[in-house]
Structure 1
Amino acid sequence: MSHRFDPDVLQQMVEHVAGLQLDSRDLISRTVELLAEEYPDLIDPTPGRWVGSKAGGVLGKVRFLYFSTREYLVIFGSPTGTQGFSGRYKHVDIHKFLLTGQIDSYDLESEDIEPLPALLPGGHTCLQRGHARGLTIHPGSWHLEYGRGAVVTTLPFAMVDTLAVSLEFESVRRSTIEFSRLIGRRRRR
């Protein structure tokens, strides 16, 4: 079974958008427009609402663009910044394409005690299966995140912190509504 999204195409889009002199809101809107043009059967040009998300201590806002059992695509970020644990996904590769801001990270298991190169606008990084990072997302940073693999295995990490630590049931409810909306849209096509 082939994948629907191409990381190289996503990279080219983000490089283009990151080079525009736009504020964060317009960068995000333009990114969604380009994605809807490139993937008209997959991306709705009028995406759902923003949902609060806390996973691994990383608190931010997420907008779901696509969700299936094998792939997901979201925009994630924070106007004020955040830091925490990337998660460790044994069955999913996580690609981050930075639209604006900066993300600093470091590998949790390597012998290297230096940070990885900073992710800057237009840049791309991939958290490969089985690896984990500590990260800092600077204020005003927004990125396109693409997950490829057994996506359902990411949901416990994505939801447990929000539920068990924050007791933020409304965000989980809203996330569930957005997942259902995207899956329903796919089934109607």
Structure 2
Amino acid sequence: MNWFKLSVIIAVLLPVYYYLDTYVLPTLFIFDTEVLQQIVNDSLAIAPKDNTTALFVEINRRLREVYGDKVNEFNTDDWMFNNAGNAMGSMFIQHASISEYLIFFGTAIGTEGHTGLHPSNDYFYILEGEQWAHKLGDPKPEIYRPGDMHWLKRGQMKQYSMPSTTWALELAQGWIPGMLPFGFADTFFSTLDFKTLGRTIYFTAKAMIENMLRGKF
């Protein structure tokens, strides 16, 4: 392929991408960040302080009341490990589609790593523990505690740490397939944990296909 043909292809694709990204993508979102914040706050207020699983169940119940079957029912058997950006934790997929994912994510013992550089906005609602974040050029850490929401803007990256037991409700809105390589790369270049990769692909694909059949992309 010569440079002229490549330039023509790029010239055609860029406006298409701009249109899809600017005018189509936002219409696919169903989750409201303020609604999620209220659900988190209300659940934190009534859930037993020493029972994290009860908090997961309560949040999931409230999410399903608002969003119906687009949110998977919480099941403790469907947790999976996640290695990404040199950090390790575990997650439960509540929703996955082309434009959004909603998960419980965290760790019982702490972790640290790179947030990744993503084509999406990421909203991280702290349920238990603390998340620390380091923005380049800022000598002071950002510290997020239960009830706080850490908004990692699209195209932004940070160093982050969850220094001890920390759990969160995480929403990503954007081009979700573009985030998957970040979530898979550590398997091939570090952990070689293909069992976990298989579970991740299975639950992600299952949720995406189910939602597409419901008309949710």
The TM-score normalised by the length of structure 2 is: 0.81
Pick one of 100, 116, 124 that aligns with 2:149.
124
Residues in 2 aligned to 1:176 and 1:169: alpha-carbon distance in whole angstroms: 10
Counterpart check, 1:179 vs 2:179: no
Q: Please say if residues 56 and 74 of structure 2, whose CA atoms lie closer than 8 Å, have aligned partners that are also in contact.
A: no
Of 41, 44, 69, 2:69 maps to 41
Distance 1:164 1:19 in 2: 42
Paired with 2:74 and 2:209, the residues of 1 have a C-alpha distance of 15
Aligned residue runs from structure 1 range 64-75, under 5 A: 64-75=93-104
2:161 paired with 1:133:
no
Give, in whole Å, the separation in 2 of the partners of 1:184 and 1:112: 41
Residue correspondences, number: 185
Where structure 2 has 5 or more consecutive residues not aligned to the other structure, the ranges are: 1-23
**Structure 1 consecutive aligned stretches of length 4 or more whose deviation exceeds 3 Å:** none
Q: How does 1:1-150 map to 2 (within 5 A)?
A: 1=24, 2=27, 3-22=29-48, 23-47=51-75, 49-89=78-118, 91-108=119-136, 111-116=137-142, 118-150=143-175
Which residue does 1:156 correspond to in 2? 181
Please give the secondary structure, in 1, of the residue aligned with 2:60: helix
Measure how far apart 1:188 and its partner are: 4.3
How well do the aligned residues superpose, as a CA RMSD in angstroms?
1.4
Aligned counterparts of 2:108 and 2:197: Cα–Cα separation in 1: 21
C-alpha deviation, 1:33, in angstroms:
1.0
Letter in 2 for 1:74: I
User: More relative contact order in 1 or in 2 (CA 8 Å, sep 6+)?
Assistant: 1
* Identity %, equivalent residues: 26
Q: Which has the higher helix share?
A: 2
Conservation of the 8 A alpha-carbon contact between 1:15 and 1:123: no
Largest Rg, 1 or 2: 2
Contact kept in structure 1, 2:81 and 2:90, CA below 8 Å: yes
